[in-house]
């Protein structure tokens, strides 16, 4: 019996000399989805920390009117104590043909808003970062389950065998760290390959990519010897798919040395392109994401920054500073993907793990008086490309932007819909582990038909 687990022990990497049967046994090779996909890639832009919906994509006139007053409706539970309502310090303006209102801190995103579906009715389970980060990334509240990128590469394989299928870019580490891109019980090759994109040197970006000592010619001679010895073993003992896969894998590794170095090197982009993204780690991450997707990487996740920058407990005006280095890269990425003909087949998601309270935070710290607490009851996520409908808003929060009340969208629903666009039925994308079928959406998830092109 050939089980998937057995198959995963072997890998042929699409080499002419490999038997066809062997090639199909490569678990990272592209795999047929469940049905015809609309999208092939995902770029997941994570504004980690919890951006405030009422200051970005969900304008609330009532909030301005009641600024400084207690909320007339009952307060919902958030992590800490909140006080009176806090009007947004930012103004909103209509953009594009769709006329979707966007905050003044995101004028560039405003200029491409017709490409985005703005979901204004997101919600999740807990007002704490950790469970919400896990839910957004892995579909489960507790650690130890595979991330979305792992599920997607497990389901679809990846197109470029010389690059990892799932790449995570983050300057430093987000809260909780690598558990957010773990493959958990899925085989390790589906885990996210973490790249600290604040590093400028290629060696620090991807470990073991370069040999500090020997030239390419010297390495070629060494590889020749090695493969001769590997082949000799099989001549003596008989062909073995496992050993054959090892040989192929080594060939690919050898080629990765040049191909991966090229993919991550954004200095090879024309000056004009680089300038359009602007400066900063996040801009660099967005541009890298475009290059990687162009080369067939299945999913790239770009964290805005180390730790949780968008966690504006103390002062919501911090959002202006943060937006300065997020606005331009996001818009540039959308335009650039379009330019490269990739937006149609690439889902671009912009979201945090939750939103923020419309009321000011009063956490017991005497000094805190202008910030917002975590809010899992309602927040906004943006999705573009990959067959999602641009220039629309979906769902709504209440008058103050606290709770999703119209067409609420659970994070599992978003996962299910993304998988659907990739040609995967979220209920059929399962992995049997320790006697149970697991899936990204656990026992939840509904396809949101209204936000995808028919």
Partner 1 sequence: MNWVLSTALLGSVCFAAAADTPEERFETKVRPILAKNCFACHTASKMGGLALTSRESVLAGGKSGPAVVSGKPDESRLILAVRQGDAVIKAMPMTGKLKPDEIAALEEWVRDGAVWPASAKVQAATGQITPEQRAFWSFQPVRKGTPPAVANSEWSRQPVDQFIYAKLRERGLQPAPRAARATWLRRVTFDLTGLPPTPEETDAYLNDKSSQAEAKVVDRLLASPRYGERWARHWLDVARYSDDRLESQKELPHPNAFRYRDWVIAAFNNDMPYSEFVLGQIAADLLPEPQRTKLLPGLTFYGLSPEQQDERVDATTRGFLGLTVACAQCHDHKFDPIPQTDFYALQGVFNSTVVDEVPLAPEAEVAAWKAHKKRLDDKEAELRSFQDEQAMIVAAMLAAQTKDYVAAVAGTRNPDGLDPETLKRWREYLDLAKQHDHPYLDNPRDGEKLQTTVLALLAEKKEIDQKNLIRLGGSDARGDLSGTELLSLDRAKYRFYNELFGARKSVLHFAGKDLDRWLGALHLRHLAALRAGAEELKKTLPPQYPFLHAVKDSDKPKNANLLIRGSRDNPGAEVPRRFVSILSPAAPKPYTQGSGRLELARAIASIENPLTPRVMVNRIWQHHFGQGIVRTPSNFGQLGERPTHPELLDYLAARFVESGWSVKAIHREIVLSRAYASAWARSAANEEKDAANLYLWRANRQRLDVETMRDALLAAGGNLEQAGGGPPLRLTDDKNFRRTVYGYRSRRKLDGTLALFDHPNPNTTNEQRNVTNVPLQRLYFLNNPFVMRQGAALAARLNGPTDEARIRQAYRLLFARQPDAAELRAGLAFLKSEKDAWPRYAQALLASNEFLYVD
Subset of residues 230 to 289 that bind partner 1, contact rule: CB under 8 A: 230, 232-233, 235-240, 242-243, 245-247, 249-250, 252-254, 256-257
Smallest distance, Å, CB 165 to partner 1? 10
C-beta closer to partner 1: residue 240 or 279: 240
Q: Are 175 and 139 in contact (CB under 8 A)?
A: no
- Is residue 178 at the binding interface for partner 1, with CB under 8 A as the rule? yes
The angle at the Cα of 17, spanning 7 to 256, to the nearest 5 degrees, equals 75
Instruction: Return the residues of window 189-218 that contact partner 1 according to CB under 8 A.
Output: 189, 191, 193, 207-214, 218
How many whole angstroms separate alpha carbon 5 and alpha carbon 159?
A: 21
347 three-class SS: strand
| Binding-site member from 164, 171, 329, 378 for partner 1 (CB under 8 A) | 164
How many whole angstroms separate alpha carbon 436 and alpha carbon 348?
A: 32
Smallest distance, Å, CB 248 to partner 1? 9
Q: Give the interface size with partner 1 as a residue count (CB under 8 A).
A: 92
Q: Would you list the DSSP string of 255-271?
A: HHHHHHHHHH-GGGS-H
**What Rg, from alpha-carbon coordinates, does the chain have?**
23
Instruction: Return the residues of window 406-445 that contact partner 1 according to CB under 8 A.
Output: 427, 434-437
Q: Of 406, 373, 409, 360, give the one whose Cα is nearest residue 388.
A: 409
- Is residue 134 at the binding interface for partner 1, with CB under 8 A as the rule? no
Smallest distance, Å, CB 22 to partner 1? 12
User: Which x/- pattern, by CB under 8 A, does the window 347-366 give for partner 1?
Assistant: -------------x-xxxxx
Q: Of 64, 43, 50, 21, give the one whose Cα is nearest residue 308.
A: 50
- Is residue 28 at the binding interface for partner 1, with CB under 8 A as the rule? yes
- Is residue 155 at the binding interface for partner 1, with CB under 8 A as the rule? no
Choose one: 95-103, 159-167, 263-271, 344-352; the region binding partner 1 (CB under 8 A).
Answer: 159-167
How many whole angstroms separate alpha carbon 15 and alpha carbon 162?
A: 12
C-beta closer to partner 1: residue 181 or 277: 181
Choose one: 156-164, 264-272, 281-289, 402-410; the region binding partner 1 (CB under 8 A).
Answer: 156-164
Q: Would you list the DSSP string of 370-423?
A: B-EEEE-S-EEEEEESTTBPPSEEE-EE-TTS-SEEES-EEHHHHHHHHHHHTT
How many whole angstroms separate alpha carbon 322 and alpha carbon 309?
A: 8
Q: Are β-strands 116-123 and 92-95 bridged in parallel, bridged antiparallel, or unpaired?
A: unpaired
- Is residue 172 at the binding interface for partner 1, with CB under 8 A as the rule? no
The angle at the Cα of 176, spanning 174 to 180, to the nearest 5 degrees, equals 80
- Is residue 21 at the binding interface for partner 1, with CB under 8 A as the rule? no
| Binding-site member from 49, 59, 83, 305 for partner 1 (CB under 8 A) | 83
C-beta closer to partner 1: residue 269 or 307: 307
- Is residue 125 at the binding interface for partner 1, with CB under 8 A as the rule? no
Choose one: 75-83, 269-277, 345-353, 384-392; the region binding partner 1 (CB under 8 A).
Answer: 75-83
């Amino acid at each position: 019996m050939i089980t998937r687990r057995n198959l995963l022990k072997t890998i042929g990497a699409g080499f002419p000399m490999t038997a066809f049967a062997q090639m199909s046994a490569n678990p990272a090779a592209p795999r047929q989805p469940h049905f015809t996909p609309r999208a092939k890639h995902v770029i997941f832009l994570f504004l980690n920390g919890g951006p405030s919906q009422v200051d970005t994509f969900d304008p609330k006139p009532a909030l301005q009117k009641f600024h400084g007053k207690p909320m007339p409706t009952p307060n919902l539970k958030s992590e800490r104590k909140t006080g009176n309502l806090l009007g947004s310090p930012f103004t909103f303006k209509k953009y594009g043909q769709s006329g979707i209102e966007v905050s003044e801190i995101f004028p560039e995103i405003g200029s491409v808003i017709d490409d985005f579906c703005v979901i204004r009715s997101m919600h999740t389970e807990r007002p704490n970062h950790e469970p919400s980060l896990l839910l957004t990334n892995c579909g489960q509240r507790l650690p130890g389950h595979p991330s979305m990128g792992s599920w997607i590469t497990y389901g679809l394989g990846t197109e470029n065998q010389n690059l990892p299928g799932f790449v995570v870019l983050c300057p430093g580490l987000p809260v909780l760290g690598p558990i957010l891109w773990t493959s958990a019980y899925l085989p390790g090759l589906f885990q996210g390959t973490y790249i600290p994109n604040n590093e400028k040197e290629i060696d620090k970006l991807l470990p073991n990519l370069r040999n500090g000592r020997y030239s390419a010619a010297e390495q070629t001679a060494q590889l020749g010897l090695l493969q001769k010895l590997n082949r000799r073993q099989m001549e003596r003992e008989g062909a073995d798919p496992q050993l054959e896969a090892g040989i192929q894998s080594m060939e690919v590794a050898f080629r990765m040395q040049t191909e991966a170095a090229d993919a991550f090197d954004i200095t090879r982009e024309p000056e004009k392109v680089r300038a359009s993204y602007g400066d900063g780690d996040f801009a660099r991450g967005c541009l890298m994401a475009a290059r990687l997707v162009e080369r067939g990487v299945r999913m790239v996740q770009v964290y805005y920054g180390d730790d949780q920058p968008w966690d504006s407990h103390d002062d919501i005006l911090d959002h202006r500073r943060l937006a300065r280095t997020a606005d331009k890269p996001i818009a540039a990425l959308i335009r650039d993907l379009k330019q490269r003909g990739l937006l149609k087949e690439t889902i671009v998601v912009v979201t945090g793990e939750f939103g923020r309270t419309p009321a000011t935070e009063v956490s017991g710290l005497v000094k805190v008086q202008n910030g917002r607490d975590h809010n899992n009851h309602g927040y906004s996520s943006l999705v573009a490309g990959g067959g999602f409908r641009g220039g629309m808003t979906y769902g709504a929060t209440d008058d103050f932007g606290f709770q999703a009340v119209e067409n609420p969208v659970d994070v599992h629903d978003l996962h299910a819909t993304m998988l659907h666009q990739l040609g995967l039925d979220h209920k059929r994308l399962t992995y049997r582990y320790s006697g149970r079928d697991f899936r990204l959406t656990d026992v939840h998830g509904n396809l949101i038909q209204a936000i995808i092109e028919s």
